[in-house]
Amino acid sequence: MKACTYSCQTTDHLLGRRAFFDRMARAGAGAALSGMGLFATPAIAQQLQKEQKRLLIVNLAGGLSQLESWDPKPGTRTGGPFRAIPTSVPGMHISELLPHTAKQMHHLSLVRGINTHEDDHGKGSYLILTGRRQRQGSQDPQLGAVAAKALDTPGRSLPGNITISPGGGGGRSADSAYLGPKYASIVLGNGSPPQYMQRPDTLSGEAVLCANDLRRKMNGRFALRRRTAETEAWTQSFEQAQELMKQREVFDITRESDKERERYGDSDFGRHCLLARRLIEKGITCVNLTHSNYDTHNDNFNFHLEQLGEFDRPFATLMDDLFQRGLLKHTLVVVLSEFGRTPGINKLYGRDHWSKAWSVCLGGAGIVPGAIIGQTNADGTEVTERQVDSGDLFHTYLRALGVKSDGQFIIAGQKLPMADPAHEPIRELLA
């Protein structure tokens, strides 16, 4: 039989058949059964961790103006005072308020033809993060929770879904709905580590070990008769808390050099971007970054000048770091908002809510780089080419992560679709 040869040089193919059986034999039956024998070498384990799919959501909350960011219309009655500048993609222009991001656009793509028909903050946010319209008496999981569930791996020690947001108390949010609390995001208030991660001085290490040993035994006995999804979630939370305490340094950006922190800038968002990079590097499945508030009903132009000035450099630095460290090809980056802002400028020099024609920026993982999907008319008042909705975007995100978006979760015996079956991926965007 002729031997197979592969042009692909991934770890999977570089591990030859003979080496596989040799490692299995030397690892021993116990290690093989546990699934760790083959991947016990640090280099291979590190490579597999590096190739794990990840998701980074950057939520510009409040309603980013597409005209001051991804779809500028200079020289028109709706365009405002800012110019459009060329990017690293020939023919692609974005607002001059994003000069650093413009240099990274060859890693990113734009969807300019979004029409979500929803101008309410709460409903718009729900729609863009779940890919579904809000229904009374029902709750759907957000994108981060869906990704954390779909990409979950056994034995994960760190949480799969983390939100970095101004404010917040460090607890779990309620964004996982029927997927359960295991996949709900842990909110890091102001980028600080989760609360209560250090053992009180009044407790000895031996006392803590004994208490946890007793807890595990009692949990095991209880589970023999009354095991439920809720008790499983509580048990998982306790075990995960123990691992978090052991790995507290993951959340500590002071461990980065002064030079590295300076690259990201002396702002909350800069520090949050640096923390996001650390979390992505450590294999967190989904990291949610929030930058707000873009709800510019008055003084829109000065506000975007200041707010995007704070966003631009740290985000561009993060994109470059993900690329340089080989993480971008496995990390989907999505920059979104709940809607855009009106082409018309109101009497307070502001822009109001506008979901009829706006934009999202995304890249990495399975997204074709440098693409522009959709087009708006000269004044940006409506979509004239390739209109899409939030459901189409949600399918696209999952497909870019290697997840079958038409798949289902089985929850308590019930089949629930991962994404709205009425929509489908934006196939031109998928590599």
**Order of strands, sheet of 161-165, starting from the edge strand that comes earlier in the sequence:** 186-189, 161-165, 286-292, 54-61, 331-336, 358-363, 108-114, 372-373
Mean pLDDT over residues 218-230, rounded?
Answer: 71
According to DSSP, the residues that pair with 217 across neighbouring strands are none
**Residue 288: predicted pLDDT:** 96
Angle at 259 between CA 255 and CA 261, to 5 degrees: 55
pTM of the shown model? 0.83
At residue 310, does pLDDT exceed 80? Answer: yes
At residue 134, does pLDDT exceed 80? Answer: yes
Please give the residue that has the higher pLDDT: either 251 or 152: 152
Domain map of the chain by residue range?
11-41, 57-193+235-429
According to DSSP, the residues that pair with 372 across neighbouring strands are 110
Average of per-residue pLDDT values in the chain: 85
Looking at the chain, the whole-number percentage of residues with pLDDT higher than 90 is: 63
Whether the CB-CB separation of 407 and 418 falls below 8 Å is answered with: yes
Mean pLDDT over residues 142-152, rounded?
Answer: 96
Highest-confidence range of 131-145, 200-214, 221-235, by mean pLDDT? 131-145
Q: How far apart are the first and last CA of the chain?
A: 33
Q: Which fold has domain 57-193+235-429?
A: Alkaline Phosphatase, subunit A (3.40.720)
Whether the CB-CB separation of 323 and 39 falls below 8 Å is answered with: no
Answer left, alpha or beta for residue 289, where phi above 0 means left and psi between -120 and 50 means alpha.
beta
Please give the residue that has the higher pLDDT: either 86 or 28: 86
At residue 172, does pLDDT exceed 90? Answer: no
**Residue 212: predicted pLDDT:** 74
Looking at the chain, the whole-number percentage of residues with pLDDT higher than 70 is: 79
Mean pLDDT over residues 399-417, rounded?
Answer: 95
Pick the range with the lowest mean pLDDT from 95-104, 158-167, 368-377.
158-167
**Residue 19: predicted pLDDT:** 43
> Using CA of residue 365, residue 317, residue 315, residue 429, what is the dihedral sign?
negative
**Residue 56: predicted pLDDT:** 98
Angle at 161 between CA 156 and CA 165, to 5 degrees: 145
Indicate the pLDDT class of residue 243, thresholds 50, 70 and 90. Answer: low
